[in-house]
């Protein structure tokens, strides 16, 4: 493994030269985007620029609304060139789009601004010849980039894997290559896609695109491992990030993935604990997997789980998938749920337990008189047969309620 793990330049001089040559021949603005519709190379303007093109040049990429629109036209699955309509509300003029493919790989999209949605035959022939040359150039760059990504993926997976010797060797190799600094804290984030309905290459590209902005930041140095349905981001930090920073990073990753992928991808994020030292990256990784499981099971998390905010749920979520079902819900709690007024009584019980049995706080939260609360608590004790003054009985009921939160919404097994 060599220093080739370092991030590659998006567009090579050779590809840029091909773009410029085509633009000058056509007298039109030309750009090459990657399969996620992010700019790789672009020509100078020819008086046909639109707000999307100008914004892309200023910001390095189009805004998410424009990207979503272009991807919604199905351009990544086109087998031949075609036009996409403009959108006045997005500031987008029509474009002639050529999928750049080589040996079955979609490498990018050649886009020519065409305000009238019309090109002369000589223009389409010139575009076709240029597209072939661009695809060939990009394929060579693609092979090199894939090699870099594979090396980086292997290093990350060894750093977070179960093999102690492999972890030790990976840390030594990473430091020798200058890829792992002396930062004192490590954080691992896992992104999981819900299904593989998207083309595999597109899913992998989307995961890479959503995470790459967090590999090198002012506060973190990172490495990534990208697979078909899972991505792992390992970040080294001088100081552990706060909950707000972690939440912001997760929200941005999810927003990017929703731009690049359709709803069926259903991504979730799990963030591990903030660990001291690279030696414990594997611990943060295992915790991130648990947090991702929480994000898929708990709608309240809005698809992003943080290990350090899970509390006692982190213990329950380490049960095997087949075991985490309604059979773990105590029978007294089932009886309460099925009783007349069970929903109200269960909510009362949950509030009472979460306020550590405080009558004033529970009554205030529920907005009821203490006399009414005492009446409900007596009902709960009569129905369940358990004593709410008994610590073990309280724990039984509280754990049962927590298990119920983790069961699939709408599942008839849920509590």
Alpha helix positions (H), 298-409: 313-316, 331-338, 342-354, 359-366, 370-384, 391-406
* Residue whose tokens read 């608590």: 377
Q: What pLDDT, on a 0 to 100 scale, did the predictor assign at position 409?
A: 54
Indicate whether 215 and 86 sit together in one domain. Answer: no
pTM: 0.74
Whether 161 maps to a domain, the answer reads no
Whether 203 maps to a domain, the answer reads yes
Are 325 and 413 contacting, i.e. CB atoms less than 8 angstroms apart? Answer: yes
* Class of residue 244 by CB neighbours under 10 A (exposed 0-12, middle 13-18, buried 19+): exposed
The total number of structural domains in the chain stands at: 3
> Residue 238 sits in a domain of what CATH number?
3.30.70.270
Whether 154 maps to a domain, the answer reads no
Rounded (5°) CA angle 271-149-210: 45
Indicate whether 190 and 252 sit together in one domain. Answer: yes
Whether 171 maps to a domain, the answer reads no
Whether 414 maps to a domain, the answer reads no
Residue 207 and residue 379: Cα distance in Å, rounded?
Answer: 52
Nearest in space to 193 (alpha carbons), one of 306, 106, 270 = 270
Helix count (H) and strand count (E) of the chain? 14, 11
Indicate whether 364 and 286 sit together in one domain. Answer: no
Whether 53 maps to a domain, the answer reads yes
pLDDT tens for each residue of the chain, 415 residues long: 333 333 333 578 999 999 999 999 999 999 999 999 999 999 999 999 999 999 988 887 888 999 999 999 999 999 999 999 999 999 999 999 999 998 878 999 999 999 989 999 999 999 999 999 999 999 888 887 778 888 889 999 999 999 999 999 998 888 887 777 667 899 999 999 986 544 556 788 889 989 988 988 888 889 999 988 899 999 998 888 999 999 999 999 999 998 888 777 899 999 999 999 889 999 999 999 999 999 999 999 999 999 999 988 998 898 888 888 888 889 999 999 889 888 999 999 999 999 999 999 999 999 999 999 999 999 999 999 999 999 999 999 998 998 888 886 545 444 5
> Residue 7 sits in a domain of what CATH number?
3.30.450.40
Backbone phi and psi for residue 252, each to the nearest 5 degrees, phi listed first: -70, -40
Of 316, 350, 375, which residue sits at a domain end?
316
Indicate whether 112 and 57 sit together in one domain. Answer: yes
Indicate whether 20 and 142 sit together in one domain. Answer: yes
Indicate whether 306 and 332 sit together in one domain. Answer: no
Indicate whether 123 and 185 sit together in one domain. Answer: no
The pair of three-digit structure tokens given for residue 7, joined into one six-digit string: 């991030």
Whether 134 maps to a domain, the answer reads yes
Neighbours of 30 (CB within 10 A): 26
pLDDT, tens digit, 9 for 90 and up, residues 161-211: 999 999 999 988 888 877 776 678 999 999 999 865 445 567 888 899 899
> Residue 358 sits in a domain of what CATH number?
1.10.10.2840
Indicate whether 291 and 239 sit together in one domain. Answer: yes
* Residue whose tokens read 């008086």: 47
Indicate whether 194 and 311 sit together in one domain. Answer: yes
Nearest in space to 380 (alpha carbons), one of 325, 414, 330, 324 = 330
Of 96, 124, 146, which residue sits at a domain end?
146
Nearest in space to 202 (alpha carbons), one of 409, 32, 18, 35 = 35
Residue 80 and residue 61: Cα distance in Å, rounded?
Answer: 24
Q: What pLDDT, on a 0 to 100 scale, did the predictor assign at position 3?
A: 32
Of 146, 170, 203, which residue sits at a domain end?
146
Q: What pLDDT, on a 0 to 100 scale, did the predictor assign at position 319?
A: 86
Whether 158 maps to a domain, the answer reads no
Are 325 and 291 contacting, i.e. CB atoms less than 8 angstroms apart? Answer: no
Q: What pLDDT, on a 0 to 100 scale, did the predictor assign at position 232?
A: 97
Q: Kindly tell me the sign of the dihedral angle through the C-alpha atoms of 92, 97, 101, 104.
A: positive
Indicate whether 137 and 9 sit together in one domain. Answer: yes
The pair of three-digit structure tokens given for residue 381, joined into one six-digit string: 């004790």
Domain hosting 93: range is 3-146
Indicate whether 263 and 331 sit together in one domain. Answer: no
- Percentages of the chain per state (helix, strand, coil), in multiples of 5: 55, 15, 30
Indicate whether 267 and 335 sit together in one domain. Answer: no
Facing residues of 32 across strands?
41, 110
Helix (H, G, I), strand (E, B), or coil: what is residue 42?
Answer: strand
């Amino acid at each position: 493994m060599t220093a080739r793990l370092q991030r590659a330049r998006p567009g090579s001089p050779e590809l840029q030269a091909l773009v410029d040559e085509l633009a000058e021949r056509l007298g039109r603005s030309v750009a090459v985007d990657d399969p996620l519709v992010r700019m790789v190379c672009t020509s100078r303007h020819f008086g046909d620029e639109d707000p999307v093109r100008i914004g892309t040049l200023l910001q390095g990429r189009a805004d998410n609304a424009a990207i979503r629109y272009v991807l919604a036209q199905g351009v990544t699955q086109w087998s031949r060139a075609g036009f996409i309509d403009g959108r006045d509300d997005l500031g987008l003029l029509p474009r002639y789009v050529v999928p750049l493919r080589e040996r079955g790989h979609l490498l990018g999209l050649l886009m020519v601004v065409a305000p009238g949605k019309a090109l002369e035959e000589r223009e389409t022939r010139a575009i076709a010849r240029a597209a072939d040359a661009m695809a060939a150039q990009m394929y060579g760059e693609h092979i090199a980039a894939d090699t870099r990504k594979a090396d980086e993926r292997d290093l990350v997976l060894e750093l977070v894997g179960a093999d102690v010797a492999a972890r030790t060797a990976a840390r030594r190799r990473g430091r020798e290559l200058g890829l792992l600094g002396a930062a004192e804290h490590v954080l691992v984030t896992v992104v999981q896609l819900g299904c593989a309905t998207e083309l595999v290459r597109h899913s992998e590209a989307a995961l890479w695109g959503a995470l790459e902005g967090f590999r090198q930041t002012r506060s973190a140095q990172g490495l990534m491992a990208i697979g078909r349905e899972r991505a792992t981001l390992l970040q080294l930090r001088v100081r552990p990030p706060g909950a707000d920073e972690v939440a912001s990073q997760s929200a941005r990753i999810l927003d990017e993935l929703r731009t690049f992928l359709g709803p069926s991808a259903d991504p979730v994020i799990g963030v591990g604990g903030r660990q001291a030292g690279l030696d414990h990256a594997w611990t943060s990784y295992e915790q991130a997997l648990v947090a991702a499981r929480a994000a898929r099971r708990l709608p309240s998390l809005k698809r992003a789980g943080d290990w350090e905010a899970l509390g006692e749920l982190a213990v329950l979520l380490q049960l095997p998938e087949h075991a985490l079902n309604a059979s773990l819900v105590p029978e007294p709690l089932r009886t309460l749920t099925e009783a007349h007024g069970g929903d109200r009584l269960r909510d009362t019980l949950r509030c009472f337990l979460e306020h550590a049995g405080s009558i004033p706080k529970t009554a205030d939260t529920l907005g009821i008189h203490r006399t009414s609360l005492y009446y409900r608590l007596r009902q709960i004790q009569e129905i369940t047969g358990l004593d709410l003054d008994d610590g073990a009985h309280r724990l039984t009921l509280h754990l049962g309620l927590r298990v119920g939160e983790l069961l699939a919404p709408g599942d008839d097994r849920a509590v």
